[in-house]
Structure 1
Amino acid sequence: MEKYIGANKWKWIEWNSEKMNQLPPSNNEDPVMTVWLKQVGKDKANSLRVTSLENGEKVINGSLIFQQSYTDENDYKIFHFFLTTNQLITVDLEITSLDRDNLNRQLARTNNAVEGFLLFLGELMNGMLVEIDQFEETLKTLIWNVRKRNEIGILELVYKRRHELLVCKNLLIPINEVKMAIDEINFPDSMDGEFFSCTSKRIERAQVLLNEYEHELDSLINLEEVISSHRGNEIMKTLTVMTTIFTPIMAYGSLWGMNFKNMPELNWHYGYIFSIVMILVSTALLYYFIKNKGWTGDLLKGKKKGSFFK
Structure 2
Amino acid sequence: MKYTFNQEKWTWFDFDEGDEEKVKELVSQNSNCGEWFENIIDRKANLLNLNTEIRGEEYIWGSLIYQQDIEDKGEKNIFHFYIRKDFFITVNFDFSIIDASPIGVQKQMDQAENGIEGFFILLGEILSTYLQKIDGYEERLHNLLWEMKEQNNLKILERIYENRHELLIWKNLVVPIVEIKFIAEEAYGQGIHENSEFNRVETRVERIRMLLSEYQQAIDTMINLEEVVSTHRGNEIMKTLTVMTILFTPVTAWGAVWGMNFKVMPELEWKLGYLFAGVLIIASTAGLYYYLKVKGWMGDILKVKKKNRFFG
Give the TM-score normalised by the residue count of structure 2. 0.95
Q: Aligned-pair RMSD on alpha carbons? A: 1.7
1:160 match: 162
Contact 1:65 1:76 in 2 (8 A): yes
SS at match of 2:95: coil
1:12 match: 12
The reply to whether residue 171 of structure 1 matches residue 173 of structure 2 is yes
2:94 match: 94
1:25–1:173 CA distance, 2 compared to 1 (3 A) = closer
Deviations 1:103-153 (A, max 9, x none): 111111111001101001100000000011000000000000111111110
Q: What amino acid is the match of 1:13?
A: F
1:301–1:25 CA distance, 2 compared to 1 (3 A) = closer
Deviation of the 1:8 alpha carbon: 5.5
The reply to whether residue 43 of structure 1 matches residue 43 of structure 2 is yes
Deviations 1:76-124 (A, max 9, x none): 0000000011110110011213211211111111110011010011000
SS at match of 1:82: strand
SS at match of 1:110: coil
2:305 match: 303
SS at match of 1:67: strand
1:27–1:266 CA distance, 2 compared to 1 (3 A) = closer
Deviation of the 1:16 alpha carbon: 2.3
Deviation of the 1:18 alpha carbon: 2.3
Single out whichever of 136-145 and 98-107 deviates more from structure 2: 98-107
1:29 match: 30
Contact 2:148 2:156 in 1 (8 A): yes
For residues 1-310 of structure 1, the aligned pairs below 5 Å read: 1-7=1-7, 9-21=9-21, 23-24=24-25, 27-30=28-31, 32-52=32-52, 57-96=57-96, 97=98, 98-186=100-188, 190-310=192-312
Deviation of the 1:21 alpha carbon: 3.4
Contact 1:45 1:64 in 2 (8 A): yes
Deviation of the 1:187 alpha carbon: 6.2
Deviation of the 1:168 alpha carbon: 0.4
1:188–1:141 CA distance, 2 compared to 1 (3 A) = closer
Q: What amino acid is the match of 1:147?
A: K
SS at match of 1:191: helix
SS at match of 1:3: strand
Contact 2:46 2:64 in 1 (8 A): yes
CA separation in 1, counterparts of 2:26 and 2:200? 38
Percent identity between the two aligned chains? 42
SS at match of 1:174: helix
CA separation in 1, counterparts of 2:21 and 2:232? 64
Q: What amino acid is the match of 2:3?
A: K
Q: What amino acid is the match of 1:247?
A: T
CA separation in 2, counterparts of 1:142 and 1:282? 49
Deviation of the 1:43 alpha carbon: 1.4
Deviation of the 1:278 alpha carbon: 0.4
Deviation of the 1:297 alpha carbon: 0.5
Deviation of the 1:191 alpha carbon: 2.6
Deviation of the 1:6 alpha carbon: 1.4
CA separation in 2, counterparts of 1:2 and 1:21? 15
